[in-house]
Chains A and B, each alone.
Chain A
């Protein structure tokens, strides 16, 4: 199972774009990349998932280079409410039943 590495913490200001990069050097061919957001004392919440290139939804974009050994979660124009921990997770849809979250990236958005 691919292990992921993320920065421990990041600071930003309201209105800025934030990019959080996740390294997953051992990603397997069938693995997808999924990002979750977690607020204190709440369960993680799905943000976005992708396999390659770029995926965009109403809250974020996910950029995946051709070698897929890393991925970048992009949060446009963050607000104070985006202060949370962000987790990158790698696994496939069929056999990746064991999930490894890692410590995540703590994003702090300042006014």
Chain B
């Protein structure tokens, strides 16, 4: 089944403790992206990747890192999480670019205490 898999589904952590949210897709998509969603703000793009080893900033990249060493995986790294990064995070992928049909993961609800 074609899908985007995120893990974990829920995560509670403390300020400053490094964490990684994983994202994997099985559709051989070139494009992958991370979004965060906060009440009343819709989806805001954090980082995106057009292909292996090619990443770029979205609208809200501060405090986040990403890597794209393999085509299928696009982990989101929070080196030193802060409470303002408490949010619902979504990973997505598409065949080529952002204008293509995006497939989303189920989301990761992160709470930073």
Residues of A within 8 A of B (CB): 31-32, 34, 36, 41-46, 49, 87, 89-104
Contacts and interface: CB of A to CB of B under 8 A. Distances in A.
Given A43-B106, A93-B97, A96-B99, A103 B48 contact: no
Interface of B: 4, 31, 33, 35, 40-45, 48, 50, 56, 58-59, 88, 90, 92, 96-107, 109
Contacts of A49: 101
- The secondary-structure label for the interface of chain B is strand
A97 B56 contact: yes
A38 B88 CA distance: 13
B102 A36 contact: yes
A98 B48 contact: yes
Given A31-B99, A45-B104, A99 B88 contact: no
B78 to A, nearest CB: 20
